[in-house]
Amino acid sequence: MITVGFSQVGAESDWRTANSESMKSTFSEKNGYKLIFDDAQQKQENQLTAIRNFIQQEVDYILLAPVTETGWDTVLQEAKDAGIPVIIVDRMVDVSDDSLYTTWIGTDALCEGRKAAEWLNGFAEAKGIAASDIHIADIQGTIGSTAQIGRTKGLEEGVDKYGWDLVAQQTGEFTQAKGQEVMESILKQSGDDIDVVYCENDNEAFGAIDAIKAAGYEVGGEEGQILVMSFDTTNAGLTDTLSGKIICDTECNPLHGPRVEEIIKKLEDGKDVEKKAYVEEEMFAYDDTVKSVKVDDKDYDVTKITQEILDKRAY
Ligand code: AHR
C-alpha cells in the first residue's frame, strides 16, 4: 500500500470539487493507496501544517496543490530532507531551488489568459466593435495563485495590445459569493460603462451574473448586453455557456488523479519523470463567431458548446 498525502487548496469552486473527486477516486484503497486528504480552506498556513503532518506520518508521496506560488522553500526543504518526493499539482510554486520538488503537472494559466484575450479580440472584430468601446471589469482569482497570475497577465497583455479599457480589477477569490459582491460594487461605480466581465473562474462568473441581473442589466452576446467570460469549463459553467450567460469559457482541466498516479507509478519503477508537464485544454463558446485563436503561433480551436458535448463531458 502506497501512502499519499494530498494538500488541497480548498473546496471553494466546482472545479476544485472535480479535482478532489479525481484524486480520491484514483488514490483509493481498492487501487492500493492510502490517501490522507487535507482541505486547506484557501489558507497557506494550513497547507504548511498539513505538509509537516504528512512528513511526521512518513507518507510515501506528498501532493501539493498550492494556494499561492511563494512561501514554500522551507517546508519543501523539510520534505526533501525527509526523503519524500513532492508532486506539485495544478498551480505552481515559485522556489529558489527546483530540486525542492520532484515534478509539477498542471495548467498553463498564462496560455489560458492569452487564449481568452484573443477570443475577445476575434469576437470584437467579427462584430465590428471598436477597441475603444470595450470596457472591461476583471474579477481576479486568489491573488498570487498561478491561475490568477496567468489569467490576469493574459488579459493585461490584450489590453495593451488592442487598446481596450480596463475599468476595474479586483479579486473575487475564486468564489461565487465574492464574485457577486465584487460585481455589485463595480456596477454601483461604473455600471453603464461595463461591456465585458472577465471572470477568472466559473464560480466568480455565477456570482457576477447574479449581480448583473439583479442590477437590471442583461448578459449575453447581443448589442447592449454584458459579455461574461470565464475559465474552468465545469458542467455548470458550460451549462451557462450553452444558454449564452457565459459567452466564452476557457478550460482548466481538473482531472489530475490519473495523471499523478502515472507519475507515481514511474517513480515507483525508478523511471525518470518530466520536471514540468502542461495539460492539453480546450475552449468553448456560446456561438461560432470565433472559430479559433492563435497564441504563440499555435492555433487553438474554439468549440461551439452543444447539449450533446455537455452530456459527454467527464466534469
Ligand atoms: O487553480 C485552478 C483554479 O483554482 C480554478 O480555475 C479555480 O476554479 C480554482 O479555484
Element (H, E) at 211: helix 202-214
Distances in Å between the Cα of 98 and the Cα atoms of 6, 39, 66, 169 are 20, 25, 15, 32
pLDDT band per the 50, 70, 90 thresholds, residue 11: confident
Look up residue 201 and give its DSSP letter: S
Write out the DSSP string of 224-292: TSBEEEEEE--HHHHHHHHHTSSSEEEE-----HHHHHHHHHHHHTT----SEEEPP--EEESSSS--E
Encode pLDDT of 138-158 as tens digits: 999 999 999 999 999 999 999
- Pocket of ligand 1, beta carbon within 6 A: 12-13, 15-16, 90-91, 147, 174, 201, 231-232, 252
| Cell numbers linked to 136 | 472591461
pLDDT value for 224: 83
Which residues partner with 232 through β-bridges?
Answer: 251
pLDDT given for residue 202 in this prediction? 98
Number of neighbouring beta carbons within 10 Å of residue 272: 8
Flag whether pLDDT at 273 surpasses 80. yes
In this predicted structure, what is the pLDDT of residue 12? Answer: 81
What is the bridge-based pairing of β-strands 135-140 and 227-232?
unpaired
Predicted pLDDT at 191:
72
Average pLDDT of span 8-16: 90
Pick the residue whose CA is nearest to atom 3 on ligand 1.
147
> Angle CA(270)–CA(271)–CA(276) in degrees, nearest 5?
125
What is the atom index within ligand 1 of the atom nearest the CA of 146?
1
The contacts of residue 257 (CB under 8 Å, 6+ apart) are 22, 23, 24, 25, 26, 27
CA dihedral 220, 179, 71, 4 (to 10 degrees): -80
% of the chain exceeding 70 in pLDDT? 100
Q: Above 80 in pLDDT, residue 34?
A: yes
Classify residue 49 as exposed, middle or buried by CB count within 10 Å of its CB (0-12, 13-18, 19+).
middle
Residues forming beta bridges with residue 5, ordered by sequence position: 36, 62
Average pLDDT over residues 199-218: 97
Phi and psi at 284, nearest 5°, equal: -130, 150
- For residue 258 the three cell numbers come to 490519473
Q: How far apart are CA 129 and CA 214, in angstroms?
A: 26
Gap from CA of 13 to ligand 1 centroid (Å): 7
Q: What is the pLDDT of residue 223?
A: 84
Q: Mean pLDDT, to the nearest integer, of 177-191?
A: 94
**Spacing, Cα 145 to ligand 1 middle (Å):** 9
> For residues 303 and 305, what is the distance between their CA atoms, to the nearest angstrom?
6
Tell me how far the alpha carbon of residue 126 lies from the centroid of ligand 1, in angstroms.
30
- The pLDDT tens digits of the residues spanning 285-310 come to 999 999 999 999 999 999 999 999 99
Question: For position 149, what pLDDT does the model report?
Answer: 98
pLDDT at 190: 81
For residue range 49-60, what is the model confidence (pLDDT) as tens digits? 999 999 999 999
Q: Taking all residues of the chain, what is their mean pLDDT, rounded to a whole number?
A: 97
> Where does the pLDDT of residue 128 fall: very low under 50, low under 70, confident under 90, or very high at 90 and above?
very high
Predicted model pTM: 0.96
**Residue 192 — very low, low, confident or very high, per pLDDT cuts 50/70/90?**
confident
